[in-house]
């Protein structure tokens, strides 16, 4: 920076206007239009610096050569001391004004109050041909110190072809003189910087050129096309064009010069809509674009970042990004919240995001809610007003009133966290933990940035389990039940007992069956249901309650199968579901046979014969050698079948996995009880002729836990947002991976947790948990959530006495996800108050959408504001 003496010494500093608070963008408008938009009060106008345009000297390059081979339009701007602002009426040639962003907005506000503006339903209507009245133009300006001349170069490389042609027409200085009045102070600033930087004996070099981005009004083009004979009509046309504020960026680092009411409902005071700009997709960045559009239409956030937010940047915060993320977001937000309709290319913001969050680098698809969570947290840390966070120790409630404890927790939170994000986006909920062992209760009050609500279908799990009797009294039946997804085995047993009408003197033993064998008993009630997979098959056995811990006998079935390889051969193969019953104290072959035949009673096709006549059907069959039998093998070890066998069933002891055929069971001999297991496993070999006497389909019917063919998915599942909220607030046990350390037990326990809303924010962000992840699968729920648009009333969900005036909310934005986990697409629905309608933001495309069209199964993140 220069001191005052250096400024006064510089000829360019005399009578110069103050430098605009803008970010470097200035606006080139007709001088006459600018004068008419000024405050009519005497002495209220700004003084500008006059320049006259002329050809570049031959030392810079011949014009014809530049036109043929060059890519720049080059001319000089020389200070014109003879031109007086109060006398210029445009008769000396074309005359333009160079103004800053704040002056541009002020001029628009004055012009839109004219009689040509039509006001209707709180918004302004304009002609179709006025929807794009500015376009960007890049000027590269350098300075020659001796003559105090600005050398202006407009490059084809930096501008689109159409913009370059427009610039050539506007600055074509052959026909008549061109004068520019600088009211922005930008040219004077360039002169002063170059004056002090360039040595006396040096000429300016190319790397000393200053890049200036100018927004050129289409009024200039219109003015050039009009002849001097049509000046009166030109003035009317100019007024019409200024009646629409579409396409005019509102870019500045500080205040734009308009009040909060000017931003209300997405329109300027006096007319003009802003915030309808799309975002270019840089390569799978639709997830980012969706979240950014929702935030860019959050009124309190827009108001904050259009003010002097940089003064609150906390560059020293070790948890922040040195303010770079906040500045990049602020620049992007101000770019989006303009009345230009051209899409914004978020290269700078994407680069900052990838730098501080490498997980979002590259061109892979990501989650819009994960980006939103990172961005809100990062903005909070970058804008945290607390420079030195004090150490705060959380105190236990210890029986104190909830109001007192909640205020204490909130005060401690604000002592370390104070930002615009906390002001508008953070709320507080009450968390209650209860130890299942000692009943210790712990109550805390924690802040939240958003609510992640489960869909009701994600909190319950549909399971199919087949129940077998252990006394041969009833046929097996399959029951479909719903259990808590994060529940325990005891919840499954309880629900299955109700469904199967279990008697008070009965209990259920659940086993997992695989390859016609029981591979494990689920006998620990505290085990998590999540250990059971959807493709597993479960069988439940009704046992007498007093025999829950008694030893059992497990019958596993095998039958002969014939196949031909050179000659007729047979082999044993497993089939059916194992049958289970209690084991008496004394066991012999005859007892085992009787127990098995009793269990088969429900499966017998002809039930005339009673159990008493079955004893003679039990015989023992001996084999010459023991052999292994693999249940999953298509060709297990072959044995010769004795066609003259008298018995219908053959019984052999086997191991727990039922793969090894051990000793035979003799009918008149005692059977030794196992020493390595409390259960006796018996392999039953069915003879071919006996299979026809039993309905083996009942034995083979064992569905998977969840099968779409058994439970067809409805075309459109639906639930209400309130149901999602109730599922979120429902008491539930913690998972095995989230156990709580009980200070009373001095160990981690699977406590039950209950959440209650305590303090709601100004802006309530609700995330619908559509995606579920397991070790093996990723799923998305297409449930249609019926969410309120204008009246989300959360009064009944607030614990204690509500402290805010209202708990009613209105929807203003929705982040949508279409498709599946692998190839989805994100968009955003945003409510625009200026037009009182919804818009669909699909990357660079922005189109209106009917209100009834915003409720879809794609709704992923909902944005509400308090009313």
Q: What is the pLDDT of residue 139?
A: 81
Under the banding of pLDDT at 50, 70 and 90, the label for residue 713 is very low
One domain for residues 533 and 571? no
pLDDT in tens, 523-540: 888 888 888 888 889 999
Task: State both tokens at 380.
Answer: 């909070």
Give the domain CATH number at 527: 3.10.20.90
CA 95 to chain centre: 51
One domain for residues 579 and 499? no
Backbone region of residue 32 per phi and psi (left: phi > 0; alpha: psi in -120 to 50; beta: other values): alpha
Q: Which of 245, 286, 294, 337 is catalytic?
A: 286
Euclidean distance between CA atoms 211 and 208, whole angstroms: 10
For residue 786, give the nearest of 725, 713, 712 by alpha carbon.
725
Between the ranges 66-75, 120-129, 506-515, 569-578, where is the mean pLDDT highest? 506-515
One domain for residues 519 and 577? no
Q: What is the pLDDT of residue 667?
A: 77
End of a domain among 522, 547, 572?
A: 547
Pairing of strands 718-720, 732-733: unpaired
Q: What is the pLDDT of residue 40?
A: 59
Q: Would the pLDDT of 57 be above 70?
A: no
In this structure, the chain runs to a length of 867
One domain for residues 187 and 164? yes
One domain for residues 527 and 637? no
736 vs 784: which has the higher pLDDT: 784
Task: State both tokens at 559.
Answer: 């039958």
Please check whether residue 571 is in contact with residue 561, taking contact to mean a CB–CB distance below 8 angstroms.
yes
Please name the helix (run of DSSP H) or strand (run of DSSP E) that holds residue 844, with its range, or none. none
For residue 531, give the nearest of 522, 541, 540 by alpha carbon.
522
Q: What is the pLDDT of residue 427?
A: 94
Euclidean distance between CA atoms 844 and 343, whole angstroms: 5
One domain for residues 556 and 685? yes
Considering the chain, what percentage of its residues have pLDDT values greater than 90?
28
Q: What is the pLDDT of residue 132?
A: 37
Residue 55 lies in a domain: yes
**Rounded mean pLDDT of 434-449?**
91
**Rounded mean pLDDT of 629-649?**
42
Name the least confident of 188-202, 328-342, 568-582: 188-202
Q: Would the pLDDT of 203 be above 80?
A: no
pLDDT in tens, 460-519: 788 889 999 999 889 999 898 888 877 889 889 999 998 899 998 899 999 999 988 999
Q: What is the pLDDT of residue 578?
A: 93
Q: Would the pLDDT of 778 be above 80?
A: no
pTM summary value: 0.53
Q: What is the pLDDT of residue 146?
A: 58
One domain for residues 479 and 573? no
Pairing of strands 25-30, 149-155: unpaired
Between the ranges 350-364, 644-658, 675-689, where is the mean pLDDT highest? 350-364
For residue 408, give the nearest of 394, 418, 388 by alpha carbon.
394
Q: What is the pLDDT of residue 721?
A: 95
Q: Is 245 a catalytic residue?
A: no
One domain for residues 664 and 517? no
Residues whose CB falls within 8 Å of the CB of residue 812, separated by 6 or more in sequence, listed in order: 297, 298, 830, 831, 863, 864, 865
Write the DSSP symbol of residue 390.
P
One domain for residues 602 and 618? yes
**Rounded mean pLDDT of 247-255?**
31
Residues whose CB falls within 8 Å of the CB of residue 456, separated by 6 or more in sequence, listed in order: 719, 723, 724, 727
Q: What is the pLDDT of residue 111?
A: 63
**Mean per-residue pLDDT over the chain, rounded:** 76
Residue 168 lies in a domain: yes
Under the banding of pLDDT at 50, 70 and 90, the label for residue 554 is very high
Residue 214 lies in a domain: yes
Domain carrying residue 43: 4-266
Please check whether residue 825 is in contact with residue 286, taking contact to mean a CB–CB distance below 8 angstroms.
yes
Residue 484 lies in a domain: yes
End of a domain among 669, 694, 719?
A: 694
End of a domain among 240, 266, 292?
A: 266
Q: What is the pLDDT of residue 408?
A: 92
Q: What is the pLDDT of residue 827?
A: 96
Residue 328 lies in a domain: no
For residue 349, give the nearest of 333, 367, 370 by alpha carbon.
333
Considering the chain, what percentage of its residues have pLDDT values greater than 70?
70
Euclidean distance between CA atoms 488 and 484, whole angstroms: 8
Residue 449 lies in a domain: no
One domain for residues 493 and 556? no
One domain for residues 563 and 540? no
One domain for residues 669 and 576? yes
Euclidean distance between CA atoms 820 and 780, whole angstroms: 7
Q: What is the pLDDT of residue 420?
A: 95
Instruction: Give the N- to C-terminal CA distance of the chain in Å, as an integer.
Output: 47
106 vs 469: which has the higher pLDDT: 469
C-alpha dihedral, 109 to 111 to 112 to 118, nearest 10°: 170
Residue 365 lies in a domain: no
CA angle (294, 295, 298) in 5-degree steps:
95
Residue 701 lies in a domain: no
Please check whether residue 218 is in contact with residue 152, taking contact to mean a CB–CB distance below 8 angstroms.
no
Under the banding of pLDDT at 50, 70 and 90, the label for residue 241 is very low
Q: Would the pLDDT of 71 be above 70?
A: no
Q: Is 297 a catalytic residue?
A: no
Task: State both tokens at 153.
Answer: 């170069």
Count of domains forming the chain: 3
Give the largest CA-CA distance in the chain: 132
Please check whether residue 561 is in contact with residue 688, taking contact to mean a CB–CB distance below 8 angstroms.
no
For residue 522, give the nearest of 560, 546, 557, 496 by alpha carbon.
496
CA 227 to chain centre: 56
Q: What is the pLDDT of residue 468?
A: 94
pLDDT in tens, 76-103: 888 876 666 555 444 456 788 888 877 8
Q: Which of 54, 413, 745, 825 is catalytic?
A: 825
């Amino acid at each position: 920076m220069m001191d005052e003496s250096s400024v006064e010494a510089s000829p360019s500093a005399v009578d110069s206007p103050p430098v605009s608070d803008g970010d470097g963008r200035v606006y080139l408008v007709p001088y006459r239009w600018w004068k008419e938009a000024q405050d009519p009060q005497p002495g209220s106008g700004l003084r500008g610096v006059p320049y006259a345009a002329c050809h570049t000297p031959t030392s810079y390059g011949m014009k014809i050569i530049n036109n043929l081979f060059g890519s720049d339009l080059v001319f000089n701007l020389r200070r014109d001391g003879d031109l007086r602002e109060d006398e210029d009426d445009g008769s000396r040639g074309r005359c333009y004004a160079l103004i800053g962003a704040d002056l541009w907005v002020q001029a628009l506000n004055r012009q839109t109050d004219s009689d040509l503006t039509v006001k209707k339903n709180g918004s302004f209507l304009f002609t179709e041909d006025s929807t794009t009245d500015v376009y960007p133009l890049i000027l590269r300006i350098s300075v020659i110190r001796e003559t105090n001349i600005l050398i202006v170069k407009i490059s084809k490389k930096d501008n689109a072809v159409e913009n370059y042609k427009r610039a050539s027409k506007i600055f074509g200085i052959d026909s008549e003189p061109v004068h520019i009045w600088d009211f922005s102070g930008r040219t004077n600033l360039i002169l002063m910087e170059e004056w002090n930087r360039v040595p006396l004996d040096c000429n300016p070099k190319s790397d000393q050129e200053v890049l200036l981005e100018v927004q050129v009004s289409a009024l200039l083009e219109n003015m050039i096309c009009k002849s001097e004979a049509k000046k009166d009509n030109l003035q009317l046309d100019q007024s019409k064009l200024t009646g629409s504020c579409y396409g005019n960026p509102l870019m500045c680092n500080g205040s734009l010069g308009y009040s909060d009411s000017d931003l209300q409902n997405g329109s300027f005071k006096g007319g003009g809509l802003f915030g309808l700009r799309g975002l270019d997709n840089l390569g799978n960045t639709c997830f980012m674009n969706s979240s950014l559009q929702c935030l860019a239409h959050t009124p309190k956030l827009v108001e904050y970042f259009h003010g002097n937010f940089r003064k609150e940047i906390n560059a020293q915060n070790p948890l922040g990004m040195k303010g770079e993320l906040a500045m990049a977001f602020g620049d992007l937000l101000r770019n989006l919240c303009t009345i230009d309709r051209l899409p914004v290319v978020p290269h700078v913001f994407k680069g900052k995001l990838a730098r501080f969050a490498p997980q979002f680098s590259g061109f892979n698809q990501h989650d819009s809610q994960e980006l939103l969570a990172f961005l809100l947290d990062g903005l909070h840390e970058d804008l945290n007003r607390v420079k030195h966070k004090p150490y705060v120790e959380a105190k236990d409630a210890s029986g104190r009133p909830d109001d007192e404890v909640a205020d204490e927790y909130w005060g401690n939170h604000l002592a370390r966290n104070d930002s615009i994000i906390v002001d508008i986006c953070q709320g507080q909920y009450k968390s209650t933990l209860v130890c299942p062992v000692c009943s210790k209760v712990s109550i805390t009050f924690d802040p939240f940035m958003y609510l992640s609500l489960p869909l009701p279908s994600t909190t319950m799990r549909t399971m199919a389990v087949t129940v077998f009797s252990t006394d041969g009294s009833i046929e097996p039946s399959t029951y479909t039940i719903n259990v808590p997804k994060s529940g325990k085995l005891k919840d499954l047993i309880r629900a299955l007992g109700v469904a199967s009408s279990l008697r008070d003197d009965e209990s259920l033993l659940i086993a997992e069956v695989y390859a016609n064998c029981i591979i494990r008993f689920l006998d620990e009630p505290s085990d998590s249901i999540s250990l059971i997979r959807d493709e597993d098959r479960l069988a439940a056995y009704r046992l007498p309650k007093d025999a829950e811990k008694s030893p059992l006998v497990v019958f596993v079935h095998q039958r002969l199968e014939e196949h031909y390889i050179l000659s007729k051969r047979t082999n044993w193969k497993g089939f059916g579901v194992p049958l289970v019953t209690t084991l008496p104290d004394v066991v012999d072959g005859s007892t085992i046979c009787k127990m098995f035949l009793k269990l088969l009673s429900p499966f017998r096709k002809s039930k005339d014969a009673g159990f008493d006549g079955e004893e003679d059907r039990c015989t023992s069959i001996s084999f010459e050698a023991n052999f292994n039998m693999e249940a999953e093998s298509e060709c297990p070890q072959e044995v010769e079948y004795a066609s003259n066998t008298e018995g219908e069933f053959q019984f052999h002891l086997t191991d727990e996995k039922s793969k090894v055929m051990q000793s035979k069971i003799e009918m008149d001999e005692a059977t030794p009880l196992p020493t390595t297991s409390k259960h006796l496993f018996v392999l039953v070999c069915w003879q071919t002729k006996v299979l026809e006497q039993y309905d083996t389909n009942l034995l083979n019917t064992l569905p998977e836990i969840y099968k779409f063919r058994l439970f067809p998915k409805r075309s459109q599942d639906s639930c209400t947002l309130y149901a999602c909220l109730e599922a979120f607030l429902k008491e539930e046990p913690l998972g095995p991976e989230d156990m709580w350390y009980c200070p009373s037990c001095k160990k981690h326990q699977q406590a039950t947790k209950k959440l209650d809303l305590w303090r709601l924010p100004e802006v309530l962000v609700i995330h619908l948990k559509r995606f579920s992840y397991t070790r093996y699968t990723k799923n998305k729920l297409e449930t249609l959530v019926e969410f309120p648009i204008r009246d989300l009333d959360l009064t009944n969900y607030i614990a204690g006495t509500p402290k805010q005036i209202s708990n009613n909310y209105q929807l203003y934005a929705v982040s949508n996800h279409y498709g599946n986990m692998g190839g989805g697409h994100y968009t955003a629905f945003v409510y625009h108050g200026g037009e009182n309608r919804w818009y669909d933001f699909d990357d660079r495309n922005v189109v209106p959408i009917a209100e009834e069209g915003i409720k879809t199964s794609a709704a992923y993140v909902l944005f509400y504001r308090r009313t």
